[in-house]
Structure 1
Amino acid sequence: MAPNTSVVNADNISGSKIVVQFNPIIQLPIKLAGSHNFSLWKAQVSMLMHGHNLFGHLDGSIPILSKTISKNNLEVSNLAYVSWFHQDQLIQNVILATVNATIGSTIASSPNAKVAWDALHTAYANKSQTRIFSLRDRLTRLSKDSCPVADYVHQVHSLCDELATSGSPVSNEELIVKILTSLGSKFRKISVVIRTRDSAITY
């Protein structure tokens, strides 16, 4: 006999909740469309799961429970598995609801939330050298030209986010050098001040 399981809305949590039900449209408005917004999508899902202490379903720290347990030398149904399965299915459904239709089949075919999460990392947080070299090359070639400073800095940060997701983060020093080098003569005084300040810092 299955245990009594209470399902609650994630935005109306009580201390007695066992299974958390989510509202992806409200809580997770960003849909995964590909590698270009994977970092942002991952952040919103991670924060929501951490907020409800459920991120373990994604990173494996909440282990997959066995469907049966041994009791009095007999194999019997594991009632704890039922609650785990309900929660894991709801988390997997959240992931499915927040990706583009072209990506959905990967999630739907996964046996649990962790496998789906790992599959997306393999596809979009690819640590292959080819992808890293491509992103590094784009960052190197990126120049301010005639675009506003804010837009240029935003483009630099976006590429740095993708590099971090791909496993090759850009250091703060690299980031500063990249931005200051491309600002041009109009911002030379600001660059000199920042470089002088940084060189004067001792550790």
Structure 2
Amino acid sequence: MSTMSTVDGVAAVFSSMPTPAFSQMVSMKLNHENYLLWVAQVLPYLRSQGLSGHIDGSLPAPRQTVAVDPAEGSGGRTIAINPEFTSWYHQDQLVLSVINSSLSEEVLATVVDATTARGAWSTLERMYASSSRVRIMQIRMQLATIQKGDLTAAEYFRKVKRLADTLAAVGKRLEDEEFISYLLRGLPADYDSLVTSITTRPDTYTISDVYAHLLSFETRQEYHTAVGQISSVNNANRVPSRGGGAFGQNGRGGRGRGGRSQPGRGNNRPPARPPSNNSSSSGTCQICGKGNHNALQCWHRFDQAYQAESTVKQAAAATHEYAVDPNWYMDSGATDHITSDLERLTTRERYTGGDKIQVANGAGSSHEASSSQRQM
């Protein structure tokens, strides 16, 4: 009964399986930064073809030559090439070709002297394996310190997933609970209610469940933010109501030049009839000083430029004394009014400054502190 050698067995398996194109199985070339991902693609391909023994040392090279017994009647034993070595060598060069074809130009220069697949693989491992272990530690540190920041929920999830996938590619796959803990740790404070809901639930969440809850929570946040902005704009554009009656602009009662309260500015009602000592009873108008009508019936009631003759004469004659204007005017919106008659004021504050007062017609006076009052 004949037996099949190990090399022949591997060759038989290799020849019986359909061999996919290597370029279809390995899509990236090795550079100085992607060794972990490169190994994750090349190694499964070689295993699927039964060729991984050429790189891990489990399939060493057979003897290159063997002694052949001479034929009957011929001379002594002769040396011949070992057919097992020939088969092994062909497969090893195939593996070496696969490795070299997946290297970038800069990395290929480092293994150009390698004559076997094992030699090329060992050289690459020495160059990048130690740095890859450091890379694994760096990835875990990134996962431990990652923050959502200004990223959307989808962008943040993909960022964490890429790091986890890199670890999985080199055999350091994270469990679902560990992945979720890294994901929740980097969320800001306004996601605390979501984090509490997930971490306190007795049922086990999958990564897909957490991702769906994360997207739903972000959608609700965006909705409430939009509603708040619309409410703020509406409040800013709302025209404040203007007070009437005894309250003028800014909710304060306006005061005329005579010191008495006037209707609020913007009020369409006519000015309230002021109290009078003798004008109403005698039928003399307080605006124009003429008889047979009162201030409510006067044609000059809304003419702010009108001044009675008696008022003009008094203003022209006054040089150091301020004559009280008996006329009533529409509220000007002023907050400060001056009078020398304390009885006309409801709130009194003695003025102690030395400023001069000048009115619209040019008359003015520098009042002493004892005779000038200021109403705020």
Task: Specify if TM > 0.5.
Answer: yes
Of Structure 1 and Structure 2, which has the larger fraction of its residues in helix? 1
Q: Is the 8 A contact 2:63 2:85 kept in 1?
A: yes
Deviation at 1:198, TM superposition (A): 6.7
Partner of 1:8: none
1:86 equivalent to 2:90? Answer yes
Relative to structure 2, which stretch is displaced further, 126-135 or 175-184?
A: 126-135
For residue 117 of structure 1, what is the amino acid of its counterpart? Answer: W
Helix, strand or coil at the partner of 1:147: coil
Structure 1 runs of 4+ with >6 Å offset:
164-167, 198-201
Q: Which runs of 5+ in 1 are unaligned?
A: 1-13
For residue 31 of structure 2, what is the amino acid of its counterpart? Answer: A
Partner of 1:10: none
| C-alpha distance in structure 1 between counterparts of 2:26 and 2:14, whole Å | 24
Q: Is the 8 A contact 1:69 1:77 kept in 2?
A: yes
Structure whose CA Rg is larger: 2
Partner of 1:28: 26
| C-alpha distance in structure 1 between counterparts of 2:13 and 2:134, whole Å | 48
1:66 equivalent to 2:63? Answer yes
- Cα distance per residue 1:85-132 (max 9 Å; x no partner): 111111111111111100002332223212222322332332687555
Helix, strand or coil at the partner of 1:140: helix
For residue 63 of structure 2, what is the amino acid of its counterpart? Answer: S
| C-alpha distance in structure 2 between counterparts of 1:22 and 1:89, whole Å | 18
Q: Is the 8 A contact 1:57 1:113 kept in 2?
A: yes
For residue 66 of structure 1, what is the amino acid of its counterpart? Answer: R
| C-alpha distance in structure 2 between counterparts of 1:200 and 1:90, whole Å | 48
Q: Is the 8 A contact 1:31 1:98 kept in 2?
A: yes
Specify which of 1, 14, 17 is matched with residue 15 of structure 2: 17
Relative to structure 2, which stretch is displaced further, 139-148 or 93-102?
A: 139-148
Inter-CA distance 137–26: structure 2 relative to 1 (3 Å threshold): closer
Inter-CA distance 95–77: structure 2 relative to 1 (3 Å threshold): same
1:111 equivalent to 2:115? Answer yes
The sequence identity of aligned pairs, in percent, is 30
Helix, strand or coil at the partner of 1:106: coil
Inter-CA distance 150–79: structure 2 relative to 1 (3 Å threshold): farther
Aligned residues: 186
1:98 equivalent to 2:102? Answer yes
